[in-house]
Amino acid sequence: MGKFIKVVLGVLLAIIVLIGFMVIRTVISADNKSVAHTDVTPPDVTPQLIDVDADALAQNLAKAIQFKTVTMQNHEDTDWPVFLELQTWLAQTYPNFHNAVQSQQIKTYAQLHIWQGSDPSLAPIVFLAHQDVVPASEEENSGWDYPPFDGIIADGFIYGRGAVDDKGSLISILEAADRLAASGFTPKRTLMFGFGHDEEVKGTGAQAIAELLKTRGIKPYAVIDEGGAIISGLPGTQSPVAMIGVAEKGYLTLILKAKATGGHSSAPPSYTAIGALSKAIVAIENAPFESGLDIVSTKMLKAMMVDQSFGKRLAISNLWWFKPLVEDSLRSTPSSNAILGTTIAPTIIDAGFKENALPRDATAYVNFRIHNRDSIASVTAHVRKAINDPNIEITMSDNIGSEPSPISQIDAGPYLWLKDVISQSFPNTIIAPNTVIGGTDSRYFSIVTSDIYRFAPYAIDVSDLSRFHGLNERISVEAYAKAVQVYYLMLEKAGE
């Protein structure tokens, strides 16, 4: 009996020590918020930002929205001349910028502007934005509060397709660069500006710009593109969070085609095209890819935990013990689940032409956003194995296909420059790395650099995220003016 008591006491002591160790780690992480945690910007920073006329800036963005630079899936369906009209307006509106740079048209409609630095030994920084936008219904009862291409300013917001994605970035970069050029500033480091024309479909403009840089032997210090922002209202977080996209998921669409004999529906065979295709889709969804925290999502959680409850800090501070629990929690919502692994999304099904006739073939499109632990080849092999039906033809869509990006430096190199700009501009903001689950033009630039950062200095609410590519896309006049000021600071520091 005495021996049993000793064993029990030993176990209890071990548990107490373990709990104490976990609590100490959690307390240290909390102390870091005010003492040494570099992922939270100081509350007493006085930003050194230029003065701007917010209303005048809003008017220019509203005007840019009125150019209907909508790209369609079929190249011939796009109104390409309107892109040249937009570019003419940009040259007239931002003359100081255009006088300071050397400009080149790429694939007719994309643009590369080079602001030559005084020190050719310094690798350039490339700023990206795209001119095109996704379609938006202009029907009277479409759900838009204001017509999507009228560029209406109302209730303190600029409304319209592209207000954020991505004319907001395009115009705010030009507003900042034009003012910087007018000040007489001469960059020490060369600044490049790549403005693609078809990011929303294939991104061939950005791809051509990246290939041109490669042929010239240019290896940028960093590439800056859309993808992250400063988001308020994230669940469990009181402070705004500046999300810097240090990685981007790959993109793949596989086309599944099932073939059968067809015939009259009154005497169906045991193997039908639609039935086989349905089973194939179910088989894929029932064979999910490996899922879990990686270096980016782990660092993101640790940066954000300073604003979390004690229980969440306890779990994140001790992932060696609570990792499965944290991962399960993240899997509870589609948006957080998406950062953990490759996602599967059947998006299009095409089959049949008459209700009493069996189709001879059925086709489905399944979209995958590829995590950096996977690849196009491994995803395709995974799908073939899951379906396990030689009668299902599997091909890759020729629309877009891209591997997951390399992971850029975190807390080193260009990341520190971005953190410095954010710290000066947005006090009391958490700064966290993240993986961008959508696609950007920057995916093509991994051929010239692995330091790609997807961040635009927009202060937005989490509720506005659904407006991108959706109804009532907008940005507040105040947030847009702040973005211009921050881009000015970002360009100035980049040039130094």
Q: Which residues are catalytic?
A: 132, 199
- Which ranges of 251-333 would DSSP assign to H, the alpha helix? 273-285, 295-304, 310-317, 319-330
Q: pLDDT for 298-350, tens place per residue?
A: 999 999 988 877 888 888 888 989 999 999 999 998 989 999 999 999 999 99
Q: What is the DSSP letter of 455?
A: -
Q: What is the pLDDT of residue 34?
A: 36
Q: pLDDT for 357-376, tens place per residue?
A: 999 999 999 999 999 999 99
Q: Are 88 and 464 in contact (CB under 8 A)?
A: no
Residues of the chain with pLDDT under 70: 1-47
Structural domains of the chain, with CATH: 54-247+405-495 (3.40.630.10), 250-396 (3.30.70.360)
Distance CA 405, CA 92 (A): 36
Q: What are the backbone dihedrals phi and psi of residue 96, each rounded to the nearest 5 degrees, phi first? A: -65, -40
Q: Are 146 and 460 in contact (CB under 8 A)?
A: no
Please name the residue that has the structure tokens 């920057």.
442
| Residue 231: strand, helix, or coil | strand
Q: What is the pLDDT of residue 7?
A: 45
Cα dist. 221→246, 272, 446 in Å?
Answer: 14, 55, 12
Cα dist. 354→53, 264, 265, 357, 359 in Å?
Answer: 61, 10, 10, 5, 8
Distance CA 246, CA 339 (A): 12
Distance CA 169, CA 416 (A): 21
Q: What is the pLDDT of residue 8?
A: 44
Q: Are 206 and 194 in contact (CB under 8 A)?
A: yes
- Which ranges of 402-468 would DSSP assign to H, the alpha helix? 414-425
Distance CA 81, CA 67 (A): 10
| Residue 224: strand, helix, or coil | strand
- The 10 Å Cβ neighbour count of residue 126 is 28
Q: Are 429 and 43 in contact (CB under 8 A)?
A: no
- In this structure, what token pair is assigned to residue 328? 């399960």
Q: What is the pLDDT of residue 41?
A: 66
Q: What's the length of the chain? A: 496
Q: What is the pLDDT of residue 465?
A: 87
Q: What is the pLDDT of residue 312?
A: 84
